[in-house]
A and B are shown apart, each in its own frame.
Chain A
Amino acid sequence: GESVGLHLPTLSVQEGDNSIINCAYSNSASDYFIWYKQESGKGPQFIIDIRSNMDKRQGQRVTVLLNKTVKHLSLQIAATQPGDSAVYFCAENNNNDMRFGAGTRLTVKP
């Protein structure tokens, strides 16, 4: 059974809606950020990254926003699909030190 992310914050959305997953990072000197998606029992998958000289980056159906003033990172998923159900976590890098958040569990209701 699934034990990764057993007590994580959760977000439940309706299929087709947009999802916004948030991450507060700890180090104002961090200069590189990544979002990962982790499905049950599997390894994390890279979704999108952003460097500190940017405040927005777009991929396919995903957008990452970076607000360095408040040390906040968000992942927006457009037209959320059942296959998007997973744990999403962010990572921050400062001076070769990568730190990972615990994540948010996204559940998509059909």
Chain B
Amino acid sequence: SQTIHQWPATLVQPVGSPLSLECTVEGTSNPNLYWYRQAAGRGLQLLFYSVGIGQISSEVPQNLSASRPQDRQFILSSKKLLLSDSGFYLCAWSVGAATDTQYFGPGTRLTVL
């Protein structure tokens, strides 16, 4: 069966510090991978998605970036965090067409102070 992991589970970082969140998927090959941010009382905001190694599409302009160094690894990064980057970050995967169901990881709670 497929599983998706995210770490760390929680993170507290000072403003201006770098960020690296990692997501890995097991039990499937060539998944579509997604990074979302979830704000209180609002729907999921798609940040990045990837259909293959090295292929990243960005949905919103921001100081975050994403990379996919391996088939089942997706990394969310920032060189300098802002207060507004605080939130709950979710990684998700799907296979086949993008119309297929997305399955989410456990999330990372990021607090920028």
Chain A interface residues (CB < 8 Å from chain B):
3-8, 31-32, 34, 36, 41-46, 49, 89, 91, 93, 96, 98-103
Contacts and interface: CB of A to CB of B under 8 A. Distances in A.
Interface residues of B, number: 21
Contacts of B88: 3-4
Nearest to A5: B41
A100 B98 CA distance: 14
Contacts of B90: 43-44
Contact of A42 (B102, B103, B107): B107
Given A43-B106, A46-B101, A96-B99, A89 B43 contact: yes
A34 B101 contact: yes
B101 A43 contact: no
Interface string B90-111: 1000000111011111110100
Contacts, number: 52
Given A3-B88, A43-B107, A101 B43 contact: yes
Q: Which 8 A-B pairs have the closest CB atoms?
A: A96-B98, A7-B41, A43-B104, A100-B43, A6-B40, A100-B44, A3-B40, A43-B107
Given A3-B40, A49-B101, 20 more contacts: A3-B88, A4-B88, A5-B40, A5-B41, A8-B41, A36-B104, A41-B107, A42-B106, A43-B6, A43-B104, A44-B90, A44-B104, A45-B104, A46-B101, A91-B102, A93-B99, A96-B97, A96-B98, A96-B99, A100-B43
A100 B92 CA distance: 13
A45 B98 CA distance: 18
A96 B104 CA distance: 17
B11 to A, nearest CB: 14
Interface in B52-103: 88, 90, 97-99, 101-103
